Structure 1
């Protein structure tokens, strides 16, 4: 659980850095992505964002967070890791207060407290990680799920702003959720065996899908709406898979505490989604003044 929470700190801080960097990336000449036309997914946007130092710093934190997440996923149930990752939005809120000068309202401070209380309940109620392997088709279904999320993200370019951001964020969350489940399904790192495991390719495909869709969502729509979709996508699905197929269980008699804690952590995180929002660019002095020369 300590690794899961440390991972949330990394991801939460990275969100602020990447949202700012993505908004600062100049769009390519002639690129699509306007509401109702073209594709919402612009691979070139990811390349342009990579030229921003904040985006690179965010990627470094994401890498560290992923390593910590792997340790957590191999030690505690998926629902506990998912709730901790949702709590990264509380971290994002606190980092935004520090770096961007935003302020938390009383309701938002309460949401931070709700997230922390939910995580405490989950930590108390969590049993050991399940050791079921799941049906063989589960590994292949992860690849199909990641491909479907990417396809839906591409088609989302024809939606108007808010629905598009929600679909892109949800698709990104599904991609990241595929990564979470795939880590649990890689039971050996021996080269011959791991290369024959579809979960390895689902992990890579899910990660690329998640990053691509989330970067596009940050640039092309409301980051608040996109982040809400991402939280739902990366928590609910893996938690269900862990309970139904992988043997994740709370401690005997504390199932209710785990359920209340999970709902509290996710609900509190959704209240804080606006702190993924990049600050609006400040117009240059005189930019809106009429020309004296007509």
Structure 2
């Protein structure tokens, strides 16, 4: 559980660091459009630190997924929105409303309940049919992401957000479906390709959603997709269970944590500085 929470802290902090660096790069003089902004951002320690945190977060996520039920890890990862909110309040001088501070507390309470109720990961290895199903979902997410600009404007953010959530959910499930990291085993395992394709397709869909729709709607849809889907797969097909007699607490904790994350959905993309905020200096 510490690894899952550590991953959430890494992802949430990385979002803000990269936003600070990208905004500083966008106001610097230079050419090259978006590519130029990215190159200037890559010369800043904040952006590089954010990338390093993303990498560390992924490693911690994999460790957590090999030890905990999927429902616990997915809820913990959704709590990265709470981390983003708190860090943004500090670094970007974003003023959190009273309800948003309450939502941060709700997320923490839900995760505490999950930590108490979670058992060990399920003992089922998963079938080949499930591996191919995850690969099929990843292909579907990629198709939705590529067609993002063709989707109707009404509901576009919702559809792309859900697609991104399902893609990240595929990554979580695929980690559990990889039994061996030997190259020969990885090459013939459909879960390997589901993991790679699902992660890439999820980022594509999320990027399109944030550019073409409401950040709040897209992020809320993503949270639903990346939490409920893996939780169901873990319980139904992989044998994830709770501690004896604490199933009710796990369900309550899951619902509470996800509800708190949904309340913080506007932080799916690091928020802009408030008009009265002091500018963030770049080094």
Which TM-score band applies after superposition, normalised by the shorter structure? 0.7 to 0.9
Is this contact kept in 1: 2:20–2:92, CA < 8 A? Answer: no
Equivalent residue for 2:75, pick from 76, 83, 86: 83
Residue equivalent to 1:153? 145
Q: Tell me the equivalent position of 2:192.
A: 200
The question of 1:169 aligning with 2:161 is answered: yes
1:264 aligns with 2:260: no
In the other structure, the counterpart of 2:136 is: 144
Alignment match, 1:3: 3
Residue 18 of structure 1 and its aligned partner are, at CA, apart by: 4.5
CA pair 76-181 structure 1, distance change in 2 beyond 3 A: same
Give the gaps of 5 or more residues in structure 2.
27-32, 276-283
Aligned equivalents of 2:98 and 2:197: distance in 1?
40
Between structure 1 and structure 2, the one with the greater Rg is: 1
Paired position in structure 1 for 2:228:
236
Match of 2:210 among 197, 218, 232: 218
Equivalent pair of 1:6/1:65 in contact (CA under 8 Å): yes
- Stretch of structure 1 that moved more, 10-19 or 106-115: 10-19
Change in Cα spacing, 1:22 to 1:168, as seen in structure 2 (3 Å) is: farther
Q: Is the 8 A contact 2:166 2:226 kept in 1?
A: yes
From 48, 59, 62, the equivalent of 2:54 is: 62
> TM-score, with normalisation over the residues of structure 2?
0.85
**Aligned 8 A contact 1:162 1:222 in 2:** no
Structure 1 SS opposite 2:67:
coil
Q: Does structure 1 retain, via aligned residues, the 8 Å contact 2:148–2:205?
A: no
1:110 aligns with 2:102: yes
Map 1:250-289 → 2, pairs under 5 A: 250-280=242-272
Higher mean C-alpha deviation, range 66-75 or range 214-223? 214-223
Gaps of 5+ in 1: 27-43, 284-294
CA distance in 2, matches of 1:223, 1:104: 17
Change (3 A) 1:154 1:18: farther
For residues 37 and 77 of structure 2, what CA distance do their matches in structure 1 show? 23
Measure the CA separation in 2 of the matches of 1:133 and 1:254. Answer: 24
For residues 216 and 25 of structure 1, the distance between their equivalents in structure 2, rounded to whole angstroms, comes to 21
Give the Cα separation in 1 of the matches to 2:18 and 2:203.
11
Question: How many positions carry a matched residue from both structures?
Answer: 265
RMSD of aligned C-alpha atoms? 2.5
> Is this contact kept in 1: 2:92–2:273, CA < 8 A?
no
- 1:112 Cα shift? 0.8
Per-residue displacement from partner, 1:10-51 (whole Å, max 9, x unpaired)?
Answer: 11112234556678898xxxxxxxxxxxxxxxxx97x67743
Equivalent pair of 2:157/2:209 in contact (CA under 8 Å): yes
Alignment map for 1:34-49 (pairs within 5 Å): none
The worse-fitting range, judged by mean Cα deviation, of 17-26 and 156-165 is: 17-26
Task: Return the offset for 1:60.
Answer: 2.4
Equivalent position of 1:189 in the other structure: 181
Classify 1:194/1:55 alpha carbon distance in 2 versus 1 (closer, same or farther; 3 Å): same
**Is the 1:49–1:55 contact (alpha carbons within 8 Å) kept by the matching residues of 2?**
no
